[in-house]
Structure 1
Amino acid sequence: MSTSIPQQHAPDEPDVFPPTLREVLLRPRWIALLALCLVVAGVFAWLGQWQLGRALDTVPFEPGQSEQVVPIDQVLQPSTYLNAPVEGQQVTVTGHFVAGDYLVVSRRMNGDVQGFWVTGQLRTDAAAPTSLAVALGWAPTVGQARAAAADLNRAAVTPVTVTGRLISDEGPIVPPRDDPMAILSMSPASLLSRWHDIAGLDVYRAYVVSNTPVAGLVQIVSRPPQAGSQVNWLNLFYAAEWAVFAGFAFYLWYRLAKDAWEKEVEEILEPDPGAPGEDAEHRR
């Protein structure tokens, strides 16, 4: 009686070998997506370079240049932000103040004393309806400020020329609950919500501190800007942000391609759950 020795079978080799990541990345689909990412990254890089150019002032202003009075449209346009090099520039602008829009702004320091500002909406002589917020003077008490604003609101509207220092928007501050109508910061956006006749109105984001106070008010202390860094840090941050976006475009391409490769490898190497397994063969 002969006995048969069971033969050892070599493990089954897969019929199809999975592709490498490099092979997947070189497929036309992913090369086309890479080309698209290059275009997107190029746009982001251009935006970053533009912001970097705005952040670095390669032509510093001469000392005392901020005290040379220039027309406002030479340094700032409506609806645009005020760049650091022209912060505090002395400007001149003509127009007329809108009756009923003289408002009081609280918590304003004049030297070392806290008080109140009286502000007005100056409708400029531009072809399109354009307004500029102007701080007209300071008062030590709210009563004096409100009285001056009331007198201005009753006065006749006449053409005026305002000369003063150009200052950046401070941003709105939420008023306290006990005085919801209070204005706590010099923000043209906050003042715009209280102004009249604003349909289709273009507004300067910055405001002007007038050199000449109106009757009943004290001149606002407005010192020349101190010489400092010629770097606009906000624009520099935006430039770095665009660089990150450009890098993320390539990372997104790589991550999508790698996920597709891992899924393909998994489908090839995992056994088909519907096919009979090795244990079923031995049980026959």
Structure 2
Amino acid sequence: MRRPRWIGVLVLALVIAGAFAALGQWQLARAVAVDPNLAGPTEVMVPLQTVIKPGEPLHDVIVGQQVSLSGEFVPGDYVILGTRLNGDVKGFWVTGHFRVDGAQPASMAVALGWAPTRADAQGIVDRLSATAATPMDLTGRLVPPQGPLALDAKTPDPFLLNEMSVAALINVWDGPAGEVYLPYLISFEAPDGLTKIDAPKPVMELELNWLNIFYAIEWAVFAGFAVFLWYRLTRDAWEKEVDEAAEKRGDPSPFE
């Protein structure tokens, strides 16, 4: 019906339908989200002290964060870890006790590199332990610590650590630890004789929020209903006018 009133109602219905459609689009955008455990600007190198302090846990959004730090390794506090994979090959890590510069120096466990045999790793440890402490800069990724592995009768060497547990490393370091960073660092550079440890960037995984998808469908239904309601009201008004005109002429209703 080309009546100003119903044209105005049509415009109102289209505005309401557009608002419902926008709400549906917003809900649909929220339905596809990045996993919060793997999100974050991890590929931007930042100073260690700007993202975490000694004693603080590593929050999910900064797992794998690239950081830079300055300090020196504590001589004699190099520890070998067993059963560490490089690809599909088991080997050994050489780890170090790094004292981070600051108003109050703090300790950080650092995974320096991988060796195929324990003898190779021990040779690197002996060489590094004989080197005097030297101020240096490090870069690497922050990684959550692993829990200490319980020993049993089948353990070939009860004195060999197999997990990158910061708590366990503190117990075997000779130098005083003082305040300690809870995560450890995988160094981007390995000493001569060691293979660089693979530390890829976190993979951003997508997840669907089905509740938001359901809400988006609801808003689409509401948008369609707003237009349908205008059509139904307009048709009813038109049929009423046609019936009234037929009654005045004495004709039967064309809709019966």
Partner of 1:215: 192
- Seen in structure 2, the aligned counterparts of structure 1 residues 206 and 64 have a Cα distance that, compared at 3 Å, is closer
Once the two structures are superposed, what CA deviation does each residue of 1:157-185 show, in whole Å capped at 9, x if it has no partner? Answer: 10011100110011111345542211110
Structure 1 segment 24-173 matched on structure 2, within 5 A: 65-173=41-149
- Seen in structure 2, the aligned counterparts of structure 1 residues 108 and 61 have a Cα distance that, compared at 3 Å, is closer
Q: Is the contact between residue 175 and residue 183 of structure 1 (CA under 8 Å) also seen in structure 2? A: no
TM-score of the two chains, using structure 2 as the length reference: 0.63
Q: Is the contact between residue 69 and residue 92 of structure 1 (CA under 8 Å) also seen in structure 2? A: yes
Q: Is the contact between residue 79 and residue 205 of structure 1 (CA under 8 Å) also seen in structure 2? A: yes
Paired with 1:223 and 1:116, the residues of 2 have a C-alpha distance of: 19
Does 1:192 pair with 2:170? yes
Q: Is the contact between residue 120 and residue 134 of structure 1 (CA under 8 Å) also seen in structure 2? A: yes
Paired with 2:150 and 2:70, the residues of 1 have a C-alpha distance of: 32
Partner of 2:21: none
Does 1:206 pair with 2:164? no
Paired with 2:71 and 2:125, the residues of 1 have a C-alpha distance of: 19
- Seen in structure 2, the aligned counterparts of structure 1 residues 93 and 132 have a Cα distance that, compared at 3 Å, is same
Paired with 2:170 and 2:37, the residues of 1 have a C-alpha distance of: 32
Runs of 4+ deviating beyond 4 Å: 60-64
Q: Is the contact between residue 84 and residue 93 of structure 2 (CA under 8 Å) also seen in structure 1? A: yes
Give the secondary structure class of the aligned counterpart of 1:137.
strand
Paired with 1:67 and 1:176, the residues of 2 have a C-alpha distance of: 40
- Seen in structure 2, the aligned counterparts of structure 1 residues 61 and 109 have a Cα distance that, compared at 3 Å, is closer
Once the two structures are superposed, what CA deviation does each residue of 1:118-160 show, in whole Å capped at 9, x if it has no partner? Answer: 0000001122231000011100111101110111000121001
- RMSD (CA atoms): 2.5
TM-score of the two chains, using structure 1 as the length reference: 0.57
Which blocks of at least 5 consecutive residues in structure 2 are unaligned? Answer: 1-32, 208-256
- Seen in structure 2, the aligned counterparts of structure 1 residues 62 and 183 have a Cα distance that, compared at 3 Å, is closer
Partner of 1:181: 159
Percent identity among equivalent residues?
41
Q: Is the contact between residue 139 and residue 218 of structure 1 (CA under 8 Å) also seen in structure 2? A: yes
Paired with 2:188 and 2:40, the residues of 1 have a C-alpha distance of: 17
Q: Using the TM superposition, give the Cα deviation of residue 65 of structure 1 relative to its aligned residue in structure 2, in angstroms.
A: 2.5
Paired with 2:159 and 2:129, the residues of 1 have a C-alpha distance of: 18
Give the secondary structure class of the aligned counterpart of 1:193.
helix
